Chains A and B, each alone.
Chain A
Amino acid sequence: MLGYIVKRTLLLLPTLFGVSVGIFLMVRLLPGDIIDILLGGDITASEEVKQEAREQLGLTGSYPEQYWNWISGAVRGDFGDSLRNAEPVSTILRDSLPITLELVFLALLIAVVVGVPLGVISAARRDSARDYASRLGGLIGVSVPNFWLATLLLLFTSKVFGWVPPLTYISPRDDLLGNLSQFILPALSISVFTLAIVMRMVRATMLEVLGQDYVRTARAKGVARRRVVYRHALRNALIPVVTVVGFEVGVLMSGAAIVEIIFGLPGVGNQLLQAIFNRDYPMIQATTLLIAIIFIGFNLIVDVLYGFLDPRISAET
C-alpha cells in the first residue's frame, strides 16, 4: 500500500511540471500585457517608457529565465508580489483561500447530504413517481447556470425578506452563525450542479449493485430489502461519490468565481478572474497553480482511498 502511494505521488511530478509550464505559457500568451493595463485609457507613452516599465516589473529576460525565477521562488513559497497592489501574492492567497475552501466544502456538503438520499430513493423505487421527480429535479440542477441561480436567490431574499447575506467576509472563528448566513446562498448556488451529479451517480450505481449476484443472493437468503439497500448497495454506491467529490473540489475552486463576484466574496476564483482582467501575472500564476495542485492533490487522495476500498487497484496500477 505504501509503495502504491509513493508511486502515485512520484507520478505527480511530471504532471506538476507540465501544469506549471502550461500555466506560465498561458499567462504569457494572454494578449495585452500589464503595461497596456497600467496605461489605462490615457495613452501618451512612448515605447521606451514602456520598456522601462517592463524592466521595473521584472518582465524582461527570456521565458526560461522568467520561468525559472518564478518556479524556484514558488517552491520556496515565494510567489512574488502582485503587480497591481504590490502585496505579496502569498498573503493575498492566504486571505482568500479559506473563503473559497469553505464555499466549496459547504457546496459539497449540501450536494452529498441532499444528493445521496435522493439517489437512493430514486434507485430503490425505480420508475416510481419519486424516481422521476428526483431525476427531473437532478436534471434541472444540471441545466441551470449557477450565475443565474445566484441572481434569483439574491433577488428572492431581498424582495421577500429584505435580506441579503452580510457583505464583508466574516470569519467562522469570529462568528460562526454570521459566517454561515453569509455563505449559505453562494454555496447553494454552486452546489446544485454537483448535487445533481451526485444524485444521478448514486442512483445509477445503486441500480447496478442491486442487480448483482451477491445482492440477489442476499435477497434470496431472506435478508430484508431495506437492509440490502442500505447495507450492501449504498456502501458500494458511495465509492463513486468519493470520486465526484474529489473531482469537484478542483472544478468548484475556479467555477465559484462568478458566484463569488456576485456575492462580493474575495475568494480565490474572484481574485483569479480579476487578476486575469488586470494581467497580474504573478497573481494568475500562483492562483492557477494553487487550484491545479488542490485538484491534483484531491484526486491523489481519491486514488489512495480507492486503493483501500478496492485492493485490486493497487495491484494493477
Chain B
Amino acid sequence: MSDKPAPEGAAPESPGKGELNRRDLLVKAGQVGAGAVAAGALAGSAKAGPSRGQAPVPTGGRVTWALEQDPVHIAPFGATLTSNHWGKAPMYESLIEWDSQLNQRPALAESWKVVDKRTVDFTLRRGVRFHNGKELTAADAKYSFDLMENPPVPGSPVVKLSGYVAVESTEVRSRYVLRVKLKNSDARLFGHLAWNRYTPIVPEGMYQQVNAGRQGIGTGPFRLLEYQPNSHVEYERNQRYWKKGRPYLDALTMKVLPDEQARIAALRSNAIDGGTFNADSASVLGRDRNLKVLKGGTAAFRELQFTIKKGENKPWHDKRVRQAVNFAINRQEIINKVYGGNGRYSGHVPPGYGPWPLSQDELKSKYLKFDLPKAQALMRAAGQSRGFSVTLTTFSTPLDFAQVASVMKQQLKRINIDVNIVAQEPGTFGSANGRGAFDWDLTARGMRGDVDGYLAEFNPSAAIFNVWYPEYRNVRVWRLVGNGKIQLDQAKRIPMYKEAQRLLLEDLVQVPLVAVTKFQVVRKRVNNMYVAFSDFNTGLHTSVYVKG
C-alpha cells in the first residue's frame, strides 16, 4: 500500500510493472466500473508534509499513535466500527487499494481482466508472503471471499459481501488466478475492494489457527505483535513486505486513550507522537513549537433523520415541513459554534468524495441555504405555523452531537418547532436507530466503498428503507439508485447520482447538515502523516517516517 501523497518519488510506487499495468487496466476496468470514487477531485483531503524532492526517506524508528476509541476487536471480516479498522489496518491488504487521493490501484492483485459483464479474473501478485511465511495463492483469496460473505464472530455476521456487491461465487482458476462471478453487472465491486474495510485477504484456515478477534495474519506492511483491549495495539515492521523499502517505520504502537485531555497531556509530554483532536484543542496545541497540526475533510458528516411510517401522520410527513426545517437550519452557525469555523456543507454524498457530490456553491446557494422567511412560509403553507414539539435523539459521545443538536434547537425555535434533545449512550442509540424507534435523530454517515453506499437506503430494496420511511415515495429516485449500481460506465453514472441527490434534497427524508473537518496533531519528528478522507489513519502504516 504505497498510499502516500505524491512527494517521495524516490520510493518505488510498486514493484514490477505496476504503473504500466494500471493504466491499461483502468481502460479495461472502466468498462466494469473501476475508479468508483475516482481521480483528482479530492482537493484538500491530503495535505501531507511538504515536498522533500529526491532526498532519501529515513527508515527506522517507532511511532506511538493515540486512538480515541478502543478497536474492540481486530477481526478482518464483518468489522463494523471504524475503530475496528484502525486496529487492523496495518496488517491487512485487499486485492485493490486506494492511494491518498482515493485512486484505485493494484495491491494484492497484480492485474485483473474483465471477462464479461458478470465475470472478473484477478491475477494475484506472485511471491507475496503472509506474516506466517506462507505464500499468497488464489486459495487464500477464495477462503477470504467466502468469509466476507459469512463473517464469523466476533465480526458482524450480518455484514455480508452480497450486501455491498452482487457477488455470486468465486472460483480458483489457477494458483494465482481468482475468478469472481457476479449475479448481474455491478459497478461497486472495485470500490468495495479498494476500501478494504471488509475485504482483506487472509491465509486459508486462519480462523482455525488464531483467535481472529485479537490476533491476525495478513500481508500488510506491519506484523501484529499484540492487541490488548482497552490498552494498546502493537505492530512491528514486516521485513518481507512486497513493496520494496516499505514501510519506513520499525514499529508502530497504537495506544487507546479515549479521553481528549489525556491525549493532550500525553502529546505535550512526548508520550505519544500524535492523535486526533477537536478543532479547539488543535488550535491550542498548534501554539506548541514541537507540534504541527494537520487538517482535512473526511467522509464523516452529520445528518438529521426522520421516520415516515404508516398511520402516524406526524407533521413532518408533509414535505413542506421537512423543507421548512431544512431552510431554518443555519449550517454556517453550526460550523462556527461547534466546529470552530471548520467544516463544509454536505449533501447526501459528502464533499470530497470524488466527482460524486454536488458542489459547495450549489448546496449553499440553493438546497441548503439558510432562509428563515421561506421556512416560515412553508410552515404556514403546511398549516403548521404554530409549530409542534418533537423528540430528537442523538449520541451522548462525542460531545459535538449534543452541541449540534443544541444549536439546531435554538434555530428551529424560530419556526416554532420545540425540539427535546435526548442524548443516548451509543448502544441505546444504535438499537433505536436500527429499529426505527425514533421520531427525529441526529446521526452520522461515513466512508463508503462506492457512491451507491450513500444512496442505497433510499431505494425500497434496502431493508432499512422499510424501517425508516416506508411511506416515502419517489419513483424517480428509486429508478436512479436502482440503475446507478448496474451502470458500468462511470461517466454515465455521475449525472445519475447527482440528479438523485438533487431530488433527495427536495424530499429531505434525511437532511444532511455539515461535513466535519478532522484535526490530527503530530510531533515535528513525524513526517508525511495526513488526514485520510476515509477516516482511517492510513498514513501511519504507509507514508509516515520519523526524523529527529
A touches B (Cβ under 8 A): yes
Cα A138 to Cα B264 in complex, Å, equals 30
Which residues on the A side are within 8 Å of B425 (C-beta)? 277
A-side contacts of B264, CB under 8 Å:
155, 158
Q: Is B214 in the interface zone, CB < 8 Å from A?
A: yes
Number of A-B contacts (CB under 8 A): 178
Contact with B427, one of A43, A265, A277 (Cβ below 8 angstroms): A277
Q: Mark B105-133, 1 if CB is under 8 A from A, else 0.
A: 00000000000000000000000000000
Q: Is B213's CB under 8 angstroms from A82's CB?
A: yes
Q: How far is the CA of A33 from the CA of B163 in the complex (A)?
A: 22
Q: Contact between B430 and A271 (Cβ–Cβ < 8 Å)?
A: no
Q: Give chain B nearest CB distance to A174 CB in angstroms.
A: 15
Do A39 and B430 touch (CB < 8 A)?
yes
B272 CB to nearest chain A CB (Å):
7
Task: Flag whether A6 is at the interface (Cβ < 8 A).
Answer: no
Q: Are A262 and B266 in contact (CB-based, < 8 A)? A: no
Interface string of B174-198 (1 = CB under 8 A from A): 0000000000000000000000000
Distance A57 CA – B155 CA, assembled complex (angstroms): 11
Closest CB-CB distance, A244 to chain B, in whole Å?
29
| Residues from 1 to 54 in A contacting B, C-beta threshold 8 Å | 30-33, 35-46, 49-50, 52-53
Q: Which residue of B lies closest to A169 (CB)?
A: B231
- B256 / chain A contacts, CB cutoff of 8 Å: 264, 266
In chain B, what residue has the closest Cβ to A44?
Answer: B163
Q: Mark contacts of B398-438 with chain A using CB atoms, 8 A cut-off: 1 yes-contact digit, 0 otherwise.
A: 00000000000000000000000000011110111111000
- Asked whether any CB of chain A lies closer than 8 Å to the CB of B154, the reply is yes
Size class of the contact patch on chain B? 35 or more
CB-based contact B231/A43 at 8 Å = no
Contact status A41-B230, CB under 8 Å:
no
Given A33-B431, A86-B153, A270-B230, the answer on whether A40 and B80 have CB atoms closer than 8 Å is: yes
A87: interface (CB < 8 Å): yes
The reply to whether the CB of B158 lies closer than 8 angstroms to some CB of chain A is yes
Digit string of A82-93 for contact with B (CB within 8 Å is 1, else 0)? 111111000010
* A259 CB, nearest partner CB in chain B, Å: 10
A256 at the interface (CB under 8 A from B): no
B315 an interface residue at 8 Å Cβ cutoff?
no
With an 8 A cutoff between CB atoms, is B255 at the interface? yes
CB < 8 Å neighbour of B229 from A43, A57, A262, A271: A271
The answer to whether B257 touches A83 (Cβ under 8 A) is no
Chain A residue numbers with a CB within 8 Å of B444 are: 41
Shortest distance from the beta carbon of A223 to any chain B beta carbon, whole Å: 53
What is the bound-complex CA distance between A95 and B256, given in angstroms?
16
- Residues in B with CB closer than 8 Å to A274 are 70, 72, 229-230
Chain A residues contacting B229 (CB-CB under 8 Å) are 84-85, 87, 92, 266, 271, 274
Residues of B within 8 A of A50 (CB): 158
Tell whether B363 is near chain A: CB-to-CB under 8 Å: no
Give residues of chain A (236-266) contacting chain B, Cβ–Cβ below 8 Å: 261-266
Across the interface, do B72 and A85 meet the contact criterion of CB distance under 8 Å?
yes
CA distance A157 to B270 in the complex (A): 12
**A82 / chain B contacts, CB cutoff of 8 Å:** 154, 213
Q: Is the CB of A56 within 8 A of B153?
A: yes
Interface centre among B64, B214, B259, by most chain A C-beta atoms within 10 angstroms, is B259
Please tell me which one of the listed residues A31, A164, A265 contacts residue B431 in the complex, with CB atoms under 8 A apart.
A31
Q: Which residues of B contact A (CB under 8 A)?
A: 64, 70, 72-75, 78, 80-81, 153-154, 156-160, 163, 211-214, 228-232, 253, 255-259, 261-262, 264-266, 268-272, 425-428, 430-435, 443-446, 456, 462-464, 467
A sample of 11 more A-B contacts (CB under 8 A), given A43-B467, A53-B157, is A38-B80, A39-B156, A41-B430, A83-B154, A85-B74, A86-B73, A92-B229, A167-B232, A167-B271, A274-B229, A279-B427
**What are 12 residue pairs bridging A and B, where the CB atoms are less than 8 Å apart in the complex?**
A31-B427, A32-B430, A33-B431, A83-B154, A151-B259, A158-B269, A162-B270, A164-B268, A262-B262, A266-B228, A274-B230, A279-B427
| Shortest Cβ-Cβ A-B pairs, 4 listed | A40-B80, A32-B431, A85-B213, A158-B265
